[in-house]
Amino acid sequence: MELTTFWFGLIGLLWVGYLVLEGFDFGVGMLMPFLARNETERRVVINTIGPVWDGNEVWLLVAGGATFAAFPEWYASLFSGFYLALLLILVALILRGVAFEYRGKIDSETWRQRWDLAIIVGSFLPALLWGVAFANIVRGVPLDADHQFTGTLLTLLNPYALLGGLTTLLLFALHGALFLGLKTRGPIQAEAVSVAFKLAVPAVGVAAAWALWTQLAYGAGWTWLAVLVAAGALIGAAVAAFQRREGLGFALTSLALAAAVVLIFGSLFPDVLPSTTDPAFSLNTTNASSTHYTLVVMTWVAVLLTPFVLLYQSWTYWVFRRRIGTEDIPPTAGLPRLIQAPAER
């Protein structure tokens, strides 16, 4: 196997890890206002992802770093063409991360509500924009002979890409609801599994429409398998939610997200960023890659270090595997407000 092909596949695998793990983080954040009615329940919801959300984002850093090192032309064209969308994702992720750390620092309902809004928005925007970005990568963007993006933001907001964004939004919400059902107990668990079943119907419909559009317009013959696996997994997740088998449902939504990445990368190969201006201007695994020596060094680094990352993250999930409920939440411990509004004095 060519090293360029190996790294293309490995980058796809890193995106599987990111979308499966960070996907339920986004889902939990988006669903918080619907599943948590008071501060104690909000803390339960947040604590389900509190120990792992930052570790899940490592997959994004590694996927981005691997793309930069293995396919620098691809990385450069993506960041020049998708600059505003990626900036919005970055700002949303920063706000969400700060909100997790800051919302409990001051014992003030107004303070917590503002940071909760940051968590919700910081989960909603990436969930939507990642789908828009990946759909545009599959569809292709206007590139000139120098592989420079010649479109605008409106170029990226085409019907196919917007459908892709709605697909990831619904899939992450469903994924997050099943994760909450898996990690909580009591009323929150019951409500989360109920919401998962309600989300499953629109998620299956929208995802099916996007997957069929992708397969018919851009897919290869063998990627029909990915479409069928994703469809079967999502239908199975809906049945599992109805039967209140949240563990099975979560495994099936994870499989569906993995199949979606296979569909995306399988539809692309051997291109990494097609050009809608002229197919000759497209970036592929050959003209976008680093030198052979660079890829060899990267391969050895990946072989030696990746097992340690996997072991550490697996250990983290094992340590925090227990379900939690409202009875596990201690009293609020934030600092009192030292500065009051004039009306409160």
For residues 258 and 20, is the Cβ–Cβ distance under 8 A?
A: yes
For residues 264 and 140, is the Cβ–Cβ distance under 8 A?
A: no
Query: 24-326 domain in CATH 1.20.1630?
Result: yes
Confidence of residue 1 (pLDDT cuts 50, 70, 90): low
Cβ-proximal residues to 262 (8 Å cutoff; 6+ apart), any chain:
12, 223, 226, 229
Q: CA-to-CA distance for 94 and 58, rounded, in angstroms?
A: 14
How do residues 267-286 score in pLDDT, each as one tens digit?
Answer: 999 999 999 999 999 999 99
**Other C-beta atoms within 10 Å of 325: how many?**
15
| The predicted structure's pLDDT at residue 344 | 45
| Residue 335 pLDDT > 70 | no
Beta pairing, strands 283-284 & 271-273:
antiparallel
Element (H, E) at 224: helix 224-242
Q: CA-to-CA distance for 213 and 218, rounded, in angstroms?
A: 8
How do residues 175-213 score in pLDDT, each as one tens digit?
Answer: 999 999 999 998 999 999 999 999 999 999 999 999 999
Q: What are phi and psi of 223, to 5 degrees?
A: -75, -10
Q: Region 139-144: what's the mean pLDDT?
A: 94
Instruction: Give pTM, 2 decimals.
Output: 0.93
| The predicted structure's pLDDT at residue 328 | 85
Counting every residue, how long is the chain? 345
Residue 102 CA to its chain's centroid (Å): 23
Q: Region 242-269: what's the mean pLDDT?
A: 96
Q: Where are the domains of the chain?
A: 24-326
Residue with structure tokens 């979606």? 260
Q: CA-to-CA distance for 77 and 281, rounded, in angstroms?
A: 12
3-state secondary structure of 131: helix
Q: CA-to-CA distance for 18 and 50, rounded, in angstroms?
A: 16
Residue 1: closest CA among 307, 337, 287, 270? 270
Instruction: Tally helices (H) and strands (E) across the chain.
Output: 13, 2
- In degrees to the nearest 10, what's the CA dihedral of 120, 125, 126, 131? 130
| Strand blocks (E) in the chain | 271-273, 283-284
Residue 203: closest CA among 156, 179, 238? 238
Q: CA-to-CA distance for 177 and 319, rounded, in angstroms?
A: 21
| Residue 342 pLDDT > 60 | no
DSSP 329: P
